[in-house]
Structure 1
């Protein structure tokens, strides 16, 4: 599968590993993939994110991802469902962090890099890479580009898709913005 990755898609994966290293994470997560996509310029995914204004709100996106990570990856919908049962996720997170320290529930802190220094990808991040192949095939593309990684992130329910949706970049909007990148500059479908 990786032989089909374009240089831009490979750069996203390498950038995700770098984000994991800088954050001290033992694993590479979906969040790292999105942050790496937001670092790119001059690629189809970068153009789509810019068209939707997500690139300009990078700090808010990163804060939303960090907030989701503090909740151990629970989506806002999960937190609202638990609130309906009388469970206040914010209060639980605060109590756990008071006892065990800030970020104690972060899912990306669970793994540790191997002695080789290699950081494994989480099951969810691997699923995004696999889904990017299905997205590419569904679009009739013979390669896997950073646009396919972005669509795969938006298609997979979870905190990353939630954060993208909060910023107006759900799967349909991204698909339209990517279609617009094939047309004249400034055109939006």
Structure 2
């Protein structure tokens, strides 16, 4: 499928992986693909995004703010407590046994050697919703009878997938719907 991607769309997908790693994500989500698209948009899409005030810096900052929150919050602690697990006691035990920075060091070890290369060491996988956005981008291009998947189609795939994280980054449902209309308008003018 990637052979059908424009150069910029390929760069956007590679950038999504880099952004996910940089933001500390274990998998590439639609929000990382969105950041890759915004960062590497072709000129027509760049104009649409600029007109809506959607920037890579703003999106990256919003994603960084989200990942800065603890993975388990008060609601999670309460849910665990209801089944007899004290999250604070678990955290204290981990800190006592492994050191104060144990949570920060809990990264999977990078595999080296032949097996590491075969298993794609250094690459992180796509989440199912991110895979779905790529599939939806292909469907959008086919529907419009286009031979190439550009960053505009990647964005349409993201919008069509309606992932809550990306919808929120784009101004909610209304913002996402308006952006979708703008992208279709841009594609219609270019045709």
TM-score range normalised by the length of the shorter chain: 0.5 to 0.7
The Cα of 1:124 is off from its aligned counterpart by 1.3
The Cα of 1:126 is off from its aligned counterpart by 0.8
- Distance change in 2, residues 1:65/1:144 (3 Å): same
Structure 2 CA distance for aligned equivalents of residues 48 and 168 of structure 1: 16
Tell me the residue number matched to 2:175. 169
Tell me the residue number matched to 1:145. 150
List alignment gaps of at least 5 residues for structure 2. 79-86, 95-99
Figure out how many residues of one structure are paired with residues of the other and give that number.
160
TM-score by length of 2: 0.65
The Cα of 1:2 is off from its aligned counterpart by 1.4
Structure 2 CA distance for aligned equivalents of residues 50 and 36 of structure 1: 15
TM-score by length of 1: 0.65
Pair 1:127-2:110 in alignment = no
1:60-102 CA-to-partner distances (Å, cap 9, x unmatched) read 4345445655597xxxxxxxxxxxxxxxx9742688799599x
- Distance change in 2, residues 1:125/1:68 (3 Å): same
Structure 2 CA distance for aligned equivalents of residues 113 and 140 of structure 1: 42
Structure 1 CA distance for aligned equivalents of residues 88 and 65 of structure 2: 13
State the secondary structure of the residue aligned to 2:170. helix
Q: Is the 8 A contact 2:159 2:180 kept in 1?
A: no
Tell me the residue number matched to 1:17. 17
The Cα of 1:167 is off from its aligned counterpart by 8.9
The Cα of 1:162 is off from its aligned counterpart by 2.7
Instruction: Select the structure of larger CA radius of gyration.
Output: 2
Q: Is the 8 A contact 1:54 1:167 kept in 2?
A: no
State the secondary structure of the residue aligned to 1:15. helix
The Cα of 1:179 is off from its aligned counterpart by 4.2
The Cα of 1:30 is off from its aligned counterpart by 1.2
State the secondary structure of the residue aligned to 1:143. coil
Pair 1:92-2:90 in alignment = no
Alpha carbon RMSD of aligned pairs, Å?
Answer: 3.7
Structure 2 CA distance for aligned equivalents of residues 29 and 139 of structure 1: 25
Q: Is the 8 A contact 1:19 1:36 kept in 2?
A: yes
1:118 to 81, 101, 123: 123
List alignment gaps of at least 5 residues for structure 1. 73-88, 185-189
